[in-house]
Amino acid sequence: MRFILIGDVIGRTGRNTLKEVLPEVKKKYKPDFIVINGENLAGGYGITKKVFKEIDKLGIDVITSGNHIWDKKEIYQFIDEEPKLLRPANYPPMVPGRGYGIYEKNGKYIAVINLMGRVFMGIPLDCPFRKFDEIYNEIKDKVDYIIVDFHGEATSEKNAFGYYVDGRATVVYGTHTHIPTADERILPKNTVYITDVGLTGAFQSVIGIEPKNSIKGFLTGLPQKYDVAKGEKIFNALFVEIDNFQIEMERIQIKIL
């Protein structure tokens, strides 16, 4: 089974990057299953139904998310209707949407679990470690692969989580910081791990947005209008191939002028 796991895709620049790069990536890596994080798809903030449909056409199997999933109010109307769209599973139980799904592909069953960290996130979430245990106990006998998008700010929390689920999850990859980390590895019990896959979107940007207003925000402490940056594009992803007991992985980075 060949996976392409993509981090936060930022606004129109990110969507255009996907459109330009995916045909080439599909040709080279022949993925069976593609996941993207869609929390920043619509103007950098949240996701709309229109954008969901636009992205769905590209052959994406699952869209995970994070704290920004709630930014466009229409999400509350359609998140329950889209089994391919996930929000972090450790939001309290009364929150709309689902935190994991089981998807059938080429005769295999793949669970995708979306979780969010609690360190520096400022959101009263349930414990992502114990939430994983709960979901794992429910699904472990029903699936062939377990893919976890761990959306978090603190590298230490993501790192600890990787070791906590080592041997239970197939892959744990981080999202949310938008900056790729160069620490991809196979943990001792064969879980593939990376702290952050990095963004897909504008290369010359502050985590995907125009640097000018971001700098102004840091200089003044005042709220700013954050626009999605344009120009040179970057695509970041993790490729993982699991073939019986063989594991291959590769960090992919493609720049387009």
Q: Is 151 marked active-site?
A: no
Two tokens, residue 229: 């940056």
Binding segment for Fe ion (CB under 5 A), chosen from 93-101, 138-146, 171-179, 229-237, is 171-179
C-beta of 99: minimal distance to Fe ion in Å? 15
Distance in angstroms (rounded) separating the CA atoms of residues 217 and 156: 27
Distance in angstroms (rounded) separating the CA atoms of residues 139 and 155: 27
DSSP strand pairing (33-37 vs 2-8):
parallel
Binding segment for Fe ion (CB under 5 A), chosen from 3-11, 52-60, 140-148, 239-247, is 3-11
Query: Side-chain half-sphere of 171: how many Cα atoms within 13 Å?
Result: 31
Distance in angstroms (rounded) separating the CA atoms of residues 129 and 4: 24
Q: Which of 17, 64, 67, 170 binds Fe ion (CB under 5 A)?
A: 67
90 lies in the site for Fe ion, by CB under 5 A? no
Task: Using only the alpha carbons of the chain, give its radius of gyration.
Answer: 17
Site of tokens 């619509």:
42
For Fe ion, give the closer residue by CB, 8 or 196: 8
Would you give the binding string for Fe ion spanning residues 10-49, x where CB under 5 A is met? -----------------------------xx---------
**Closest to 16 measured CA to CA, from 179, 229, 198:** 229
149 lies in the site for Fe ion, by CB under 5 A? no
For Fe ion, give the closer residue by CB, 143 or 228: 228
Q: Which residues are catalytic?
A: 68
**Residues that bind Fe ion in the complex, under the rule CB under 5 A:** 8, 39-40, 66-67, 176
